[in-house]
């Protein structure tokens, strides 16, 4: 009997542009497909609830694709290196292939797995696939990591263009081994609160097909006005590909080339796609940061922030989480997050600034809440995003740049469309007052059916006062 190759799926839940799968297909051996839910190795960064929901859908879809090719996606739970080695042994695998990870926990698992497989006489082969250029490839001359985005992106661009994405291999001989497997239900990935899942289901299709549909919609229009429209949460100016990139239902290389090739075919040139492609490079920068600074999710990269006088305020934190701060743009964002598992980037920055500066609550609290509620929860992007808004990251907005939530809202949601959608109790307010209902004339509030403190909260902090207090706190750590 020809010994099979075990394909261990990780953050690459797709068949297209999958180097590890492609290499397996080329070897002309049957393939056993496996996914392991490892809640142990990830430690305190065990996958959160919303991204588990997305994962369940993506596993379902991938399982169907594999079943259509005569195989079965084995599902297991446990410490990944132990489980993968056990399954490899049980199916008599000749080799195990997988897509490399770049966070500390994944790297530790992969090292242990390689050792276990060596003991069993099974070949271990890891491949790139979740980034376009791997972190080790984009460093300064002496191998030092870049700490600032612009030189990183310059070095990234100076590299040879990435290879074209790989198609789904034509011949894929998946096996259906007769060994036990969990089911998606027994992995209990979907939330027990059915309403929550319904909200996410209405918005997302967690599969390769769902990713391709979003990419297609984006390339058929929004990408060309991305630079102008991307900051306006009330418009469809962004791709919404983030959960797919996070879990690998689409590869970044496929996304990159689809945008670049479309720009070239339409005679627009590479530059036309660059504002969007630049965001993919931010993603690579985040992963490079996490690779070189593995504490990124837990510790501020600017050491002085370890002394910052953060405030512990469970009531204010809860109001923020629930979208009841009294600042409409903040509340709209937090409610969009809860309802759909996603939030627009501009609003992520606004709610992040509000939490860490107006409320002075530690950025890690926001990071944790996002981790649990985002379908696109991504260890590197989330940690870099939070360190950026809190001003404690390496190439972050300085702490003293404090967003004014009202001015931000007036600028980026000028017609109030976004706030009206997510904070319907304010929908009847005219544009002039929708972003600061507390300043509206009482009669007008009454006509719009708004009773502050009853139908909609009064602001939980005064922004001007909070801003001064935040700046004073920052001065204190700066002064040493």
Ligand X SMILES: Cc1cc2nc3c(=O)[nH]c(=O)nc-3n(C[C@H](O)[C@H](O)[C@H](O)COP(=O)(O)OP(=O)(O)OC[C@H]3O[C@@H](n4cnc5c(N)ncnc54)[C@H](O)[C@@H]3O)c2cc1C
Contact residues: ligand X, CB under 6 A: 230, 238-242, 245-246, 279-280, 282-283, 286, 345, 348-349, 352, 370, 374, 376-378, 381-382, 385-386, 389
Judged by DSSP in three states, 34 sits in strand
Residue whose C-alpha is closest to residue 15's, from 208, 216, 205: 208
Nearer to ligand X, 140 or 236 (CB): 236
Least distance to ligand X, CB of residue 99, Å: 16
Burial 295-310 (b: 16+ CB within 10 A, else e): ebbebbbbeebeebeb
Nearer to ligand X, 79 or 155 (CB): 155
CB 94 within 8 A of CB 199: no
Residue with Cβ nearer ligand X (286 or 317)? 286
Give me 382's structure tokens.
């989330």
Determine contact, residues 334/351, Cβ cutoff 8 Å.
Answer: yes
- The CA-CA-CA angle for residues 434, 196, 211, to 5°, reads 90
CA nearest neighbour of 263 among 219, 216, 217 = 219
CB of 356 to ligand X, least distance (A): 9
Beta bridge partner(s), residue 33? 7, 73
- Closer CB to ligand X, 287 or 456, in the complex: 287
Minimal distance, residue 31 CB to ligand X, in Å: 28
Nearer to ligand X, 263 or 280 (CB): 280
Residue nearest to ligand X (CB): 385
Q: How far is the CB of 82 from ligand X (least distance, A)?
A: 28
Which tokens belong to 319?
Answer: 């109001």
Nearer to ligand X among residue 84 and residue 347 (C-beta): 347
Cα dihedral 251, 256, 259, 262 in deg (nearest 10): -100
Q: How far is the CB of 2 from ligand X (least distance, A)?
A: 39
In whole angstroms, how close is the CB of 273 to ligand X at the nearest point? 12
CB 203 within 8 A of CB 94: no
Q: Token match 């609003």: residue?
A: 347
**Which residue number, 405 or 437, has a Cβ lying nearer to ligand X?**
405
The distance of closest approach from Cβ of residue 379 to ligand X in the complex, given in angstroms and rounded to an integer, is 8
CA distance 406 to 174: 56
């Amino acid at each position: 009997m020809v010994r099979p190759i075990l394909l261990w799926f990780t953050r690459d839940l797709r068949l297209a542009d999958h180097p590890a799968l492609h290499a397996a297909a080329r070897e002309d051996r049957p393939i056993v497909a496996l996914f392991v839910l490892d809640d142990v190795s990830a430690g305190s960064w065990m996958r959160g609830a919303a991204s588990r929901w997305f994962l369940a859908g993506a596993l379902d879809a991938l399982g169907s694709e594999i079943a259509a090719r005569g195989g079965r996606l084995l599902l297991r739970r446990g410490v990944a290196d132990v489980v993968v080695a056990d399954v490899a042994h049980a199916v008599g695998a000749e080799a195990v292939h997988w897509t490399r990870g770049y966070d500390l926990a994944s790297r530790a698992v992969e090292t242990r797995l390689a050792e276990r497989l060596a003991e069993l006489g099974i070949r271990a082969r890891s491949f790139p696939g979740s980034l376009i250029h791997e972190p080790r490839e984009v460093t300064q001359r002496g191998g030092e990591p870049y700490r600032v985005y612009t030189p990183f992106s310059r070095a990234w661009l100076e590299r040879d263009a990435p290879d074209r994405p790989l198609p789904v291999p034509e011949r894929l001989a998946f096996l259906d081994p007769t060994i036990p497997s969990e089911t998606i239900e027994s992995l209990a990935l979907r939330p027990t609160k059915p309403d929550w899942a319904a909200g996410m289901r209405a918005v997302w299709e967690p599969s390769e097909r769902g990713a391709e549909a979003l990419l297609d919609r984006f390339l058929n229009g929004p990408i060309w006005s991305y630079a102008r429209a991307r900051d306006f949460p009330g418009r469809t100016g962004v791709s919404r590909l983030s959960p797919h990139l996070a879990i690998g239902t689409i590869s970044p290389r496929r996304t990159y080339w689809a945008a670049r090739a479309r720009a070239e075919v339409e005679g627009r040139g590479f530059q036309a796609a660059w504002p969007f492609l630049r965001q993919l490079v931010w993603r690579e920068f985040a992963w490079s940061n996490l690779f070189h600074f593995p504490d990124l999710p837990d510790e501020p990269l600017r050491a002085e922030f370890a002394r910052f006088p953060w405030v512990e305020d469970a009531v204010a934190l809860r109001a923020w989480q629930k979208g009841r701060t009294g600042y409409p743009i903040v509340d709209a964002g937090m409610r969009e997050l809860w309802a759909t598992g996603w939030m627009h980037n501009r609003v992520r920055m606004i709610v992040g600034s509000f939490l860490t500066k107006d409320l002075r609550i530690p950025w890690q609290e926001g990071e944790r809440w996002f981790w649990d509620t985002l379908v696109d929860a991504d260890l590197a992007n989330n940690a870099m995003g939070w360190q950026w808004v809190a001003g404690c990251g390496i190439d972050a907005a300085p702490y003293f740049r404090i967003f004014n939530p009202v001015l931000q809202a007036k600028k980026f949601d000028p017609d109030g469309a976004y706030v009206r959608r997510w904070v319907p109790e304010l929908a009847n307010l005219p544009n002039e007052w929708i972003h600061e209902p507390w300043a509206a004339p009482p009669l007008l509030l009454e006509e719009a059916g708004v009773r502050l403190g009853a139908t909609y909260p009064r602001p939980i902090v005064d922004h001007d006062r909070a801003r001064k207090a935040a700046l004073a706190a920052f001065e204190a750590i700066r002064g040493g």
